[in-house]
Amino acid sequence: MVAFNNIASVTREKSMSIVLDQLDEKLLEHFRGFVVKKDLVQMLKVGENVPVFVLEYLIANSCSTNDEEAIKKGLDNVKRILSDHYVNPEESALIHSKIKNLGRYKIIDKISVELDTGKDVYWAKLQNSSIQHANISENLVNQHEKMMLGGIWAIIEMRYDPGIMIGSTIYPFVVEEIKPIQLSNFENARFINNRSFFTKDEWINILLRSSGIEPSAEGITQRIKLLLISRLIPLVEANFNLIEIGPRATGKSYVYKELTPYATLVSGGQSTVAKLFVDMGGKKKIGGIGRWDAICFDEATDKIFSDKEAIPLMKDYMEFGSFTRDASIGEMTGSASIIYNGNINQPVETVLQNSNLFSPLSKEVNSDTAFLDRIHYYLPGWEMPKFAPKHFTKNFGFSTDYFSECLKSQRKINHTDVGEEFFALGSHLKQRDTKPVKKTVSGFIKLIHPDGKYTKDDVREYLTLALEMRRRVKEQLKRIGGMEFWDTNFSYIDKNTQEESFVSLPEERSSHLIENSPLQPGVCYTATSDGENLTLVRIETAVVTGNGKLNISGTNSTAPKEDIKNSYQYIKANEKTILNEQHFLKNYDISIQVTSLLGSNIASGIGAAAYVAIISAIYKRNLKPALSILGNISIGGAIERALNFTDKVSMLSENGAKLVLVPMSNLNELQDLPPSVLGATDVPFYGNNQMLMQKVILSE
């Protein structure tokens, strides 16, 4: 027992002092007793299979000093405590024996309590010790109510009394005393008041160091800092739905596995309806969504749920924070945030060229637009550095237990109206978009400004990130579901200046499907719409010496084939004015391949693009870079108006088109194009086929 008695009395002998930076000194000054040197935790974690918050509790009590000799003795003390008293599950039988033989014995274990109404007693359950029915007094239960809410880690003094019986059954284990390792009381006022001693940048660095990350490490930019901090938003913001897809070894799951006892990590496919929502065969108590602050589904690229019934329930829960599984129980609510983490093994550019950023998810949900639209925040995990030793801090940060209580204390606060003080949201944001954006801003305010002191520039920074992360969700839904999700030009308006700012996605700049270089002869791009779905189309034309045959491949749809045939017949009927004699169509066999680059249903509206592709292929003339063409040419040569003009131009622009030629009959719709599109893409008009060819052929 000597080790336990020494836990708070660290030797103060003077020795070589450890060099601390200014932020360490400020933390020790204002939060002494609640901070820990994080490299000590890493040192012990390597050799001990112990929860981080248990290690940090012991280290914080033994090593909150900058004296090297005192730290060394403190670490030795921690090791002795763990060796003698921490219970590994495989040692449970030995622990039972020690408690019996010694009569009393202190252990470190996780303890939870349930009321047995049938016997009118409280039973304590000790997780690693495999003790299911330990006697515990009502007084101890009232002192530590968290034992009734999933349990706490604690230093527990156990007593053995074989005389305790209920009926003919002996219940000899008794919980005599509890010293919580997790804080039983949290002084929120001190946490909030002491925030004022730190600048915004200092506080961001404290949050990162408290998460084990060194903010000055190579590759940790200001943007990366905020992305790393955003992993904490589900812990401070109730009912927040986040997804992160990225490479392995970027720390996606660490936050929810190690930084708080209020979150749980679920391996792929291991979550059931009974565990998540309610067990209809048991006591019909609410499941994990009512007991945890955050539930993280790890390996979401493999399988998320073990039964299909979970998906509609999860849709309801992610949207409303409630669900109904059975009419006899009625509606049940929870506040757990939901996180989906998954691995991606190829560059994001490759994923975007071939599919969408939800495609790595489990097949059960990766095309379910109703499910995916409920995600508030798509964190671009591919931007995160792969963690190496240089990324782990050696400085002080909040102990995990204190840090988790700081985060939990913020869940009761609401800052969703903060953005409205300075900014209005643009017209493209629907109700399902504004909620995630507001919750994201609220989360950043809680994390970085828990004292409620922030500036307009602070809010602008968080709002921009919030819009980006939600837009990333909508952009991928647009790829999957078409026009239903086409309003993605997210913006915010400064209420003071009325200036509108549009938010783009970094990956857009490197994933354009329309190449920004001179197009090869016979290659042209366009877009079609069937009224519900938009499709980005590439037309490729091959011309060889032949007998005037036309071959069309790549689509079984009648409408686009008719568009191509009409353009071909118009050229054939007017070849004396369009072509010179040696280039008449009777001298060639022409093959046209139509390819869908984005979307699946190629509809009408490709005639003008086919016309240009045929002429440029015959004359072997390159077309202008990043070119697209909308509209049809009738068999008589009339230029037909492009339907769904705004959506088509927006789609082409967002996928790399720098020049989109459109029929003159669409001129009055130009005003409907968002400024972001007009700023990125030139949209000239043509009234006949001669004007069309003049505007598209690359000058030699």
Report the CATH number at residue 589: 3.30.230.10
Q: Are residues 534 and 397 in the same domain?
A: no
Q: Are residues 129 and 154 in the same domain?
A: yes
Confidence grade of residue 607 (pLDDT, cut at 50, 70, 90): very high
Chain-wide mean pLDDT for the chain? 88
Q: Are residues 54 and 32 in the same domain?
A: yes
253 lies in some domain: yes
Q: Are residues 7 and 59 in the same domain?
A: yes
**Residue 282: strand, helix, or coil:** coil
Which of the two residues, 8 and 410, has the higher pLDDT score?
410
Q: Are residues 77 and 98 in the same domain?
A: no
Confidence grade of residue 490 (pLDDT, cut at 50, 70, 90): confident
Strands (E) located in 306-444 = 322-324, 331-333, 337-343, 377-380, 396-398, 423-425
Q: Domain containing 376 — which CATH number? A: 3.40.50.300
8 lies in some domain: yes
Q: Are residues 77 and 93 in the same domain?
A: no
Q: What is the pLDDT of residue 45?
A: 67
Name the least confident of 125-134, 143-152, 412-421, 662-671.
Answer: 143-152
Highest mean pLDDT among 338-342, 498-502, 527-531, 623-627: 338-342
Number of domains in the chain: 4
Confidence grade of residue 331 (pLDDT, cut at 50, 70, 90): confident
Q: What is the pLDDT of residue 11?
A: 34
Question: What's at 540, amino acid-wise?
Answer: E
**CB 233: neighbour CB atoms within 10 A?**
27
Q: What is the pLDDT of residue 445?
A: 98
Res 183 pLDDT > 70:
no
Res 361 pLDDT > 50:
yes
Q: Are residues 337 and 245 in the same domain?
A: yes
306 lies in some domain: yes
Distance CA 461, CA 289 (A): 31
Percent of the chain with pLDDT over 90: 57
CB 32, CB 64: distance < 8 Å: yes
464 lies in some domain: no
Res 681 pLDDT > 80:
yes
Res 5 pLDDT > 70:
no
Q: Is 196 exposed, middle or buried (0-12, 13-18, 19+ CB in 10 A)?
A: exposed
Q: Are residues 396 and 534 in the same domain?
A: no
Q: What is the DSSP letter of 697?
A: B
Confidence grade of residue 509 (pLDDT, cut at 50, 70, 90): low
Res 1 pLDDT > 50:
no
Res 7 pLDDT > 50:
no
- Give the residue from 387, 412, 437 where a domain finishes: 412
Which of the two residues, 146 and 226, has the higher pLDDT score?
226
Domain enclosing residue 116, as ranges: 89-180
49 lies in some domain: yes
Report, as an integer, the average pLDDT of 195-221: 96
Confidence grade of residue 13 (pLDDT, cut at 50, 70, 90): very low
200 lies in some domain: no
Q: What is the pLDDT of residue 472?
A: 95
Report, as an integer, the average pLDDT of 516-531: 90
Cα–Cα distance list, 463 to 118, 177, 494, 612 (Å): 54, 49, 12, 44
Highest mean pLDDT among 326-340, 384-398, 451-465: 451-465
Q: Are residues 123 and 50 in the same domain?
A: no
- Give the residue from 385, 412, 439 where a domain finishes: 412
Q: Are residues 669 and 579 in the same domain?
A: yes
Res 48 pLDDT > 80:
no
How does DSSP assign 540-571, residue by residue? EEEEEESSS-EEEES---HHHHHHHHHHHHHH
123 lies in some domain: yes
Which of the two residues, 32 and 436, has the higher pLDDT score?
436
Q: Are residues 38 and 140 in the same domain?
A: no
How does DSSP assign 651-673, residue by residue? HHHHTT-SEEEEEGGGGGGGGGS
- Give the residue from 412, 433, 460 where a domain finishes: 412
Report, as an integer, the average pLDDT of 540-568: 92
328 lies in some domain: yes
Res 185 pLDDT > 70:
no
Distance CA 421, CA 441 (A): 12
Res 698 pLDDT > 80:
no
Q: Are residues 590 and 684 in the same domain?
A: yes
CB 670, CB 683: distance < 8 Å: yes
